[in-house]
């Protein structure tokens, strides 16, 4: 939203003096630097994608070719069949989708309570949520593992999902949003005799749709790309998530690059697809909201 | 946080101000008590799940972890108390120091590079001078969608010793191939580049949001005074986005200190154990050697370091502001 209000003002400002000295060369140099950076950032991925459709022989034969001479998807099919990428996909999808839905529900409820109720223990809990950022999963790795094992969740996909549901970033995104919702709305609902929880579900929750979608893509990305925690709690190859699966291909003594490239590219597809769907909720997100506090 | 911290700080001051008879106060207090009594159930229900998770997955492991760090617990059986033995062994372990130093070098390399690149890309995406922002934005953001594991694979492929594109270019230009994998320092440089590449996107988003919030009137006024672009950037933009810069620097440092996944596929902490970082050290001790007690002690040392970083940054920030 900020974009739509500031950009016109910017261009109006520029239009006033179209022939200001140096304006054109500034435009040229700024664009040149930006496009240079685009090449720097895009090239590794482009090279990777092009390599993934080359036949195994062409991958290592000097001189290297930029564009593949014959296009093959053998790496992909081999990854899908011989390395169980399909199973990893299903597992990761289960983890990412359920964690995302739970995270949104729980964060919305908690964020709303933190924003709209003044009880001392609600305020104290705000500090507690903030404190969780000081104790990331990496720090609690071993004791957290023991807790999860004692709860009987070891080697279960739920072990990846449940501890991930509580997130300070998500909770604070919702808290900041509900702080901007006028309390008059809440008072009006109270006067009309609406119960507290039904006010939350029927009035407040629909208002927070943009936050929900932003958190949805964030949470999906966190879980889809998560590596260390699934590695610790999942032991059975049939329960592996995609990141562990791909890293196990690398772990082998002789890296089968053809399969590795195929599996890697496959693993990126769902996230890229979701990003393209929800792009504007990420790029326009005022993500400062959750972090600046 | 802000509104929870401020009221107690201001409260005594309002008490000092001499006032006449105060009819408003008791009424307000009554009203407040009524409100508190009335809404206990709803907020409790709303925070209940998070409360339960907080207790189970933060308080419990934090307490048991601290206890384990004084025992030689192996994950099964009894946990014999050994006092400060774990910490003493840790401070005498050369592998721990080398992991710590490697972590610090990695952080020192990757943080400035990430900050400069994310600020540069953000500025280029916000300034009216550039053409083709729509494409550039997607390309700059792409690495955020790629997991550290895959990013490691991508950069390993690019910097392969016998087959990588980079060495191919070096040879084509008449140089000799560089040992990107078997030389510890070169290998770390590759991870630093890959880390900066991977971390730019998210920080760029934060910077873009901050840059868009700088009031344009400042720039207009500066232009009237004849300020150049660089002067405007240094005197207006940088001070205006300072709070965001603070957050970005802090988050990037904390995240770099915890890096593991990127190393896993790029060089697996190698060659040998030369590039083992702290988290990998903790993971190896805790899960491959099953020394839960020892790993817990190492975890608490890591936490201590992270907290020192955060506190130092906070203090520096306060000093700069005042």
Question: Which residues are CB-contacts of A109 (< 8 A; sequence separation ≥ 6)?
Answer: A200, B45, B46, B47, B49, B50
Task: Chain A: give the shortest CA distance to residue B322, in Å.
Answer: 19
Listed as ranges, residues in chain A with pLDDT below 50 are: 1-16, 18, 288-293
What tokens does B126 get?
């916000």
CATH superfamily of B88-321: MetI-like (1.10.3720.10)
Short-list B322, B293, B315, CA closest to B85:
B293
Contacts of A293 in chain B (CB under 8 A): 1-2
Confidence of residue B275 (pLDDT cuts 50, 70, 90): confident
Name the residue of chain B whose CA is nearest to A109's CA: B46
Q: For helices B184-212 and B148-158, what crossing angle results, to 10°?
A: 130
Beta-carbon count within 10 A of A73 CB = 12
Name the residue of chain A whose CA is nearest to B168's CA: A64
Contact B154 A45 (CB under 8 A): yes
Q: Are the beta carbons of A228 and B279 closer than 8 angstroms?
A: yes
pLDDT at B320 over 90: no
What tokens does A230 get?
């699934």
Cβ-nearest to A136 among B146, B157, B258: B258
Contact B53 A114 (CB under 8 A): no
d(CA B40, CA A119): 8
Name the residue of chain A whose CA is nearest to B286's CA: A142
d(CA B206, CA B112): 16
Question: Which residues are CB-contacts of B271 (< 8 A; sequence separation ≥ 6)?
Answer: B181, B182, B183, B184, B187
Q: Look at residue B77 and give its three-state secondary structure.
A: coil
Given 1.10.3720.10, 3.30.210.10, 3.90.1520.10, 1.20.810.10, which CATH number is that of A78-292?
1.10.3720.10
d(CA B115, CA B121): 10
Contacts of A173 in chain B (CB under 8 A): none
pLDDT at B106: 94
Name the residue of chain B whose CA is nearest to A24's CA: B129
What's the N-to-C CA distance of chain B in angstroms?
20
CA dihedral A54, A57, A58, A64 (to 10 degrees): 140
d(CA B24, CA B3): 22
Beta-carbon count within 10 A of A57 CB = 10
Q: Across A66-80, A185-199, B3-17, B99-113, which has the greatest mean pLDDT?
A: B99-113
Q: Look at residue B81 and give its three-state secondary structure.
A: strand
Contacts of A45 in chain B (CB under 8 A): 142-143, 146, 154
Q: Are the beta carbons of A141 and A79 closer than 8 angstroms?
A: no
**DSSP string over A111-138:** HHHHHH---HHHHHHHHHHHHHTTS-TT
Task: Chain B: give the shortest CA distance to residue A37, in Å.
Answer: 8
Cβ-nearest to A34 among B136, B141, B154: B136
Give start-end residues of each CATH 1.10.3720.10 domain in chain B. Answer: 88-321
Contacts of A162 in chain B (CB under 8 A): 53, 57
A7-66 pLDDT, tens digit each: 444 444 444 454 566 778 888 888 999 999 999 999 999 999 988 888 877 777 777 777
pLDDT at A136: 78
d(CA B214, CA B222): 13
Cβ-nearest to B53 among A27, A165, A247: A165
Contact B61 A144 (CB under 8 A): yes
3-state secondary structure A148-191: HHHCCCCCCHHHHHHHHCCCHHHHHHHHHHHHHCCHHHHHHHHH
Confidence of residue B122 (pLDDT cuts 50, 70, 90): very high
Q: How far is CA A186 from CA A193, A201, B267, in A?
A: 11, 12, 55
pLDDT at A200: 92
B125-184 pLDDT, tens digit each: 998 888 888 899 889 999 999 999 999 999 999 998 888 888 888 888 888 888 888 888
Contacts of B57 in chain A (CB under 8 A): 144, 147, 162-163, 166
By the 10 Å C-beta count (0-12 exposed, 13-18 middle, 19+ buried), B143 is classed as buried
Q: What's the pTM value of the predicted model, to 2 decimals?
A: 0.84
DSSP H or E stretch at residue B175: none
What tokens does A109 get?
């409820």
Cβ-nearest to A41 among B172, B197, B282: B197
Name the residue of chain B whose CA is nearest to A103's CA: B50
Contact B124 A261 (CB under 8 A): no
CA dihedral B265, B268, B274, B279 (to 10 degrees): 100
Name the residue of chain A whose CA is nearest to B309's CA: A134
DSSP H or E stretch at residue A83: none
Q: How far is CA B134 from the centre of its chain?
A: 28
pLDDT at A252: 61
pLDDT at B29: 52
Cβ-nearest to B148 among A59, A227, A264: A227
Domain boundaries defined on chain A: 20-74, 78-292
DSSP structural state of residue B83: T
Q: Are the beta carbons of A85 and B10 closer than 8 angstroms?
A: no
Contact A246 B61 (CB under 8 A): no
pLDDT at A285: 58
d(CA B232, CA B224): 12
What tokens does A241 get?
């998530």
pLDDT at B8: 44
Task: Chain A: give the shortest CA distance to residue B240, in Å.
Answer: 14
Cβ-nearest to A41 among B139, B153, B282: B139
Q: Are the beta carbons of B32 and A114 closer than 8 angstroms?
A: no
Cβ-nearest to A250 among B131, B197, B265: B265
Name the residue of chain B whose CA is nearest to A17's CA: B223
Q: How far is CA A75 from the centre of its chain?
A: 27
What tokens does B251 get?
């988050």
pLDDT at B194 over 90: yes
Question: Which residues are CB-contacts of B140 (< 8 A; sequence separation ≥ 6)?
Answer: A37, A38, A41, B121, B125, B200, B201, B204
Contact A246 B265 (CB under 8 A): yes
Contacts of A8 in chain B (CB under 8 A): none
By the 10 Å C-beta count (0-12 exposed, 13-18 middle, 19+ buried), A52 is classed as buried
Contacts of A135 in chain B (CB under 8 A): 58, 62, 303
Task: Chain A: give the shortest CA distance to residue B314, in Å.
Answer: 13
B32-72 pLDDT, tens digit each: 545 444 688 889 999 999 999 999 999 999 999 999 999 98
CB pairs under 8 A between A and B: 296
């Amino acid at each position: 939203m900020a974009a739509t209000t500031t950009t016109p003002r910017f261009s109006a400002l520029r239009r006033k003096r179209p022939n200001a000295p140096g304006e054109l060369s500034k435009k040229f140099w700024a664009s040149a630097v930006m496009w240079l950076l685009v090449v720097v950032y895009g090239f590794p991925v482009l090279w990777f994608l092009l390599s993934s459709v080359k036949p195994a022989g062409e991958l290592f034969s000097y001189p290297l070719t930029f564009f593949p001479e014959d296009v093959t998807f053998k790496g992909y099919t081999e990854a899908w069949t011989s390395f169980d990428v399909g199973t990893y996909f299903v597992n990761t999808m289960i983890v990412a989708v359920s964690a995302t839905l739970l995270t949104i529900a729980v964060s919305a409820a908690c964020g709303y309570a933190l924003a709209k109720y003044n009880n001392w223990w609600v305020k104290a809990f705000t500090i507690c949520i903030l404190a969780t950022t000081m104790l990331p999963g990496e720090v609690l790795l071993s004791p957290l593992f023991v807790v999860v094992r004692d709860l009987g969740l070891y080697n279960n996909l739920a072990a990846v999902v449940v501890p991930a549901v509580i997130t300070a970033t998500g909770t604070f995104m919702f808290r900041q949003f509900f702080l901007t919702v006028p309390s008059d709305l809440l008072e009006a609902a109270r006067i009309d005799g609406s119960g507290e929880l039904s006010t939350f579900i029927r009035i407040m929750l629909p208002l927070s749709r943009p936050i929900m979608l932003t958190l949805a893509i964030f949470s999906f990305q966190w879980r889809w790309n998560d590596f260390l925690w699934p590695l610790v709690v999942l032991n059975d190859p049939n329960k592996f998530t995609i990141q562990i699966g791909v890293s196990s291909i690398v772990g082998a003594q002789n890296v089968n690059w053809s399969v590795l490239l195929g599996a890697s590219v496959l693993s990126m597809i769902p996230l890229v697809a979701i990003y393209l769907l929800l792009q504007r909720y990420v790029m326009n997100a005022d993500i400062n909201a959750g972090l600046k506090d | 946080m802000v509104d929870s911290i401020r009221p107690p700080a201001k409260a005594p001051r309002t008490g000092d101000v001499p006032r006449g008879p105060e009819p408003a106060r008791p009424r307000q207090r009554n009203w407040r008590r009524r409100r508190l009594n009335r809404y206990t159930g709803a907020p409790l229900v709303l925070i209940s799940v998070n409360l339960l998770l907080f207790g189970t997955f933060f308080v419990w492991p934090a307490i048991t972890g601290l206890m384990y760090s004084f025992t030689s617990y192996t994950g099964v059986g009894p946990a014999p108390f050994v006092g400060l033995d774990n910490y003493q062994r840790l401070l005498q372990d050369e592998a721990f120091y080398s992991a710590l130093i490697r972590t610090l070098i990695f952080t020192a390399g990757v943080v400035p590079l990430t900050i400069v690149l994310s600020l540069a890309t953000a500025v280029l995406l916000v300034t009216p001078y550039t053409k083709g922002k729509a494409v550039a934005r997607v390309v700059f953001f792409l690495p955020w969608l790629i997991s550290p594991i895959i990013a490691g694979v991508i950069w390993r492929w690019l910097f392969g010793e016998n087959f990588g594109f980079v060495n191919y270019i070096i040879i084509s230009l008449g140089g000799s191939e560089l040992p990107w994998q078997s030389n510890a320092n070169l290998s770390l440089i590759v991870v630093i580049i890959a880390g900066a590449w991977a971390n730019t996107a998210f920080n760029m988003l934060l910077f873009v949001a901050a840059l868009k919030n700088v009031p344009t009137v400042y720039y207009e006024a500066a232009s009237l005074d004849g300020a150049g672009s660089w002067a405007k950037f240094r005197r207006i933009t940088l001070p205006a986005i300072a709070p965001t810069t603070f957050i970005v620097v802090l988050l990037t440092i904390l995240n770099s200190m915890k890096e593991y996944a990127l190393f896993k596929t790029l060089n697996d902490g190698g060659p040998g154990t030369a590039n083992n970082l702290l988290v990998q050290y903790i993971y190896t001790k805790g899960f491959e050697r099953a020394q839960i007690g020892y790993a817990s002690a190492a975890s608490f040392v890591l936490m201590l370091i992270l907290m020192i970083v955060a506190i130092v940054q906070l203090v520096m920030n306060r000093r700069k502001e005042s």
